[in-house]
Amino acid sequence: MSESTKSQLQELKIEAISYCKLGNYTKAENRIRKALELKPDSMNLLHELAKIFLKSKNYSKSLEILMKLEIRVNKKDILYKDIGLAYFGMGKLEKALDFSVKSLNRNPDYIEALFLKGKSLLELEKFDDAMAIFNQILEQDSKHRDSLYQKGKICHSFGKYRESLDLFDQVLEFKPRDTEVLAAKGKSHDELDEYKDASESIRKSLLVEDEVIYNDRGVALTRLGYNHKAIDSYRRAISSNPKYAVCWFNLGKALFRVGDLQEALTAFKQSTELNPKNRSAWNNRGVTLRQLNRLEESLDCYDRAITLKKDYSWAWHNKGYVLELLDRPRESLECYEVALSHKPDPREHGVAEWKKLKKDTQIAIDRINKIIGD
């Protein structure tokens, strides 16, 4: 398969995932089907199509694809979990439970399969068994939001309102604007005749916006090229939580893309002040300053990024470029050479990005060598 086709497949898959996050399942399905035209026998793409049907609650279509994949894929734990989710959505709880167990037989610590098992047991009114599963999940991840929430609901249904409030408060400690949990907390307060607290919780659940949802929506819109809509979504997230460092970073990137450099710089400053350890935010702050011709200030930002990660190739390259603009070619050359000596983690930057960086850096090295005569 050619590099061009691989790139096209990756782009279509990213677009499909982004449309899914925006709830536009028709466009998501369309993108995967286009990808399947390029690679008809791809198990991964067929599984992605099935997951789109799952999210759009078209459980029978999802199940039809998933069952055909059973003998053809290696990651049976994920496949069985998804089959279980399809059965759960169809109300076939025993089947859902069976497939959650099949998944866990392959991978006993698979949290998503454990949670499906817990939900299935809960719907089958096997409350003690469900509670045991949620406790098992929380031993692995003490901040597993859905397990804490479901445990809280079970406690509420059995009249253990104080216990339910404690569980809901545990969620609100790390997700203070969780509207579903706030509403449930209000009901528990109401049962205890704590009407003021009940009213406050329910009021918050109706007024606040979940910053995580709007940030994720912004990321999806950005990937699809809708930068102005993404900016609006990021601003809604920040209005709900002004200390959301990652969202300030994402807002800065979107503002930079539309050419609003001053606003982008403000966003990157906010991000680095809230989280000084975000090397990418420092790097992007430096790039923005460079675009504003504030070269010495941009160098400070690259140095901060490099202090956080010595082998941060992008910051080394950007520092080299600014030094070149400042007519300091030998220092610039050293930075470019360091940039090439560190191959980045593929989870941080894609293969295509690294190839482009290598090409641009090598061109810069050749250019400087001609200038200094080495």
- Output the pLDDT for position 372: 83
Rounded mean pLDDT, 265-286: 97
* Residues above pLDDT 90, as percent of the chain: 77
Please identify, among 184, 208, 232, the residue that sits at the C-terminal boundary of a domain.
Answer: 208
The pLDDT tens digits of the residues spanning 156-187 come to: 999 999 999 999 999 998 888 788 898 899 99
Lowest-pLDDT choice from 48-62, 165-179, 319-333: 165-179
- Output the pLDDT for position 123: 96
Residue 224 and residue 204 in one domain = no
- Output the pLDDT for position 197: 80
Lowest-pLDDT choice from 111-120, 196-205, 317-326: 196-205
Whether 250 is in a domain gets the answer yes
- Output the pLDDT for position 199: 79
- Output the pLDDT for position 373: 72
- Output the pLDDT for position 240: 82
- Output the pLDDT for position 292: 97
Q: How far apart are CA 297 and CA 282, in angstroms?
A: 11
Residue 278 and residue 294 in one domain = yes
Whether 271 is in a domain gets the answer yes
Calculate the alpha carbon distances from 240 to 106, 229, 234 in Å.
Answer: 41, 17, 10
- Output the pLDDT for position 116: 98
- Output the pLDDT for position 352: 74
* Residues above pLDDT 70, as percent of the chain: 95
- Output the pLDDT for position 346: 57
Here the CATH number for the domain that contains residue 154 is 1.25.40.10
- Output the pLDDT for position 176: 82
- Output the pLDDT for position 174: 84
Confidence bin at 204 (pLDDT 50/70/90): low
pLDDT of residue 141 exceeding 70, the answer is: yes
The residue whose two tokens read 């449930």 is 184
How many domains is the chain partitioned into structurally?
2
Whether 33 is in a domain gets the answer no
Whether 240 is in a domain gets the answer yes
The pLDDT tens digits of the residues spanning 327-352 come to: 999 999 999 999 988 876 655 666 67
For 159-208, the DSSP string reads T-HHHHHHHHHHHHHH-TT-HHHHHHHHHHHHHTT-HHHHHHHHHHHHH-
Q: How far apart are CA 173 and CA 145, in angstroms?
A: 11
Lowest-pLDDT choice from 22-26, 332-336, 351-355, 358-362: 351-355
Q: Tell me phi and psi for residue 57, to 5 degrees.
A: 65, 25
Residue-range definition of the domain harbouring residue 286: 216-372
Please, what is the average pLDDT of the chain?
Answer: 92
Residue 221 and residue 368 in one domain = yes
- Output the pLDDT for position 177: 78
**Number of continuous H segments (helices) and E segments (strands) in the chain:** 21, 0
Residue 232 and residue 321 in one domain = yes
Residue 273 and residue 321 in one domain = yes
Whether 188 is in a domain gets the answer yes
- Output the pLDDT for position 71: 84
Residue 303 and residue 349 in one domain = yes
Residue 220 and residue 367 in one domain = yes
pLDDT of residue 203 exceeding 90, the answer is: no
- Output the pLDDT for position 264: 97
DSSP state of 124: T
Q: Which of 359, 295, 351 is nearest to 327 (CA)?
A: 295
- Output the pLDDT for position 221: 93
- Output the pLDDT for position 201: 77
Whether 200 is in a domain gets the answer yes
Rounded mean pLDDT, 204-217: 76
Q: Which residues of 244-283 are buried (b: 16+ CB within 10 A; e: fewer)?
A: bbbbbbbbbbbbbeeebbebbbbbbbbbbebeeebbbbbb
